[in-house]
Amino acid sequence: MSNYLKKLIVKPDSKIRLKHFDPGYHGKHESHKSALPEIEENRQKMQELQYLMYAENKHSLLIVLQGLDAGGKDGVVRHVLTGMNPSGCVSVNFKQPTPEDLAHDFLWRVHPHVPGKGSVAIFNRSHYEDVLVARVHGLVPEKVWSKRYDQINDFEQLIATENNTTILKFFLHISKEEQLARFKKRLDDPARQWKISESDYKERDYWGDYIEAFEDVLTKTSTKHTPWFIIPSNHKWFSNLSISQIIARTMEEMDMKMPQPTVNLAEIRREYHQAADEKSNRSD
């Protein structure tokens, strides 16, 4: 079994050029059917480990999903992360900032959604939009967005050390041809047409600019404690497989333990048996 935790990680100080990464890579599996048993095994592990995380209440997990339009972010949330209990897991989608957001620093709107101990948060798009869209469309000057890489690193280091939060960041890497094919499926499928945006094809004109922006993000913000993973995503099932494996293995490495009871079990058992005996006597 391939170890995608090691294979797909962006090592710190790497100089990333996405043309060197094949978005069509799919490992040893040739189809969704072949990969499905492994995906389901990973889902089961995640479910068990999330319960343990919730019970132990010492760790938290932040999952960041980024990618170009139609990269499959929503699908990852739906297919992979539905194995988690929603009482301990929340998905947040950072869209265009509001006027109130813009009146503060760019991380102001992000911090309230960072997971507390015992919980998991999924950022479907994230604070990285402020060095992607903001850069590509010139929403702020270069002297502003160029400082944000270090600010993001400091922010992530803060929550990793102060709140014992493990951060996993996934870039869903698709080809320009695959993106167009997915746009066509949206046009042809009434169940997907709601996803169509007027900006879909306009944004394709900035493909090269977005690739350069993502390359800088991957190069400058993949650290030892908050790594990026480049996920080949032309095959959606491979995204589900690799991401679910990375999450499950990372959670296993947290070495979480079920907490000890906080009550006197002998006393609780005595009270239970007393109540059971009283019920039995009333029945007689």
Distance CA 122, CA 143 (A): 30
Burial of 59 (0-12, 13-18, 19+ CB in 10 A): buried
At 171-220, the pLDDT tens digits run 999 999 999 999 999 999 898 888 888 888 899 999 999 999 999 999 99
Contact between 69 and 200 (Cβ < 8 Å):
yes
Decide which of 82 and 157 is more confident: 157
* pLDDT at position 63: 97
For 81-130, give the DSSP string.
GGGS-GGGEEEEE--SPPHHHHTS-TTTTTGGGSPPTT-EEEEES-GGGG
For 21-76, give the DSSP string.
S-TT--TT--SHHHHHHHHHHHHHHHHHHHHHHHHH-S-EEEEEEEESTTSSHHHH
How far apart are the two ends of the chain, measured CA to CA in Å? 61
Torsion angle of alpha carbons 181, 185, 187, 192, nearest 10°? -130
Contact between 198 and 1 (Cβ < 8 Å):
no
Instruction: Supply the pTM of this predicted model.
Output: 0.94
Distance CA 81, CA 1 (A): 21
What average pLDDT does the chain have?
94
Residue 139: pLDDT band by 50, 70, 90 thresholds?
Answer: very high
At 231-259, the pLDDT tens digits run 999 999 999 999 999 999 999 999 999 99
Distance CA 243, CA 173 (A): 12
Contact between 62 and 123 (Cβ < 8 Å):
yes
Confidence check: pLDDT of 277 > 90: no
At 214-235, the pLDDT tens digits run 999 999 999 999 999 999 999 9
User: How far is C-alpha 68 from the geometric centre of its chain's CA atoms?
Assistant: 15
Distance CA 248, CA 245 (A): 5
Confidence check: pLDDT of 24 > 80: yes
Which phi and psi (to 5°) does residue 176 adopt?
Answer: -65, -35
At 71-119, the pLDDT tens digits run 999 999 988 778 788 889 999 999 889 999 999 999 999 999 999 999 9
DSSP-derived 3-state class of residue 284: coil
* pLDDT at position 284: 61
Confidence check: pLDDT of 9 > 90: yes
Confidence check: pLDDT of 43 > 70: yes
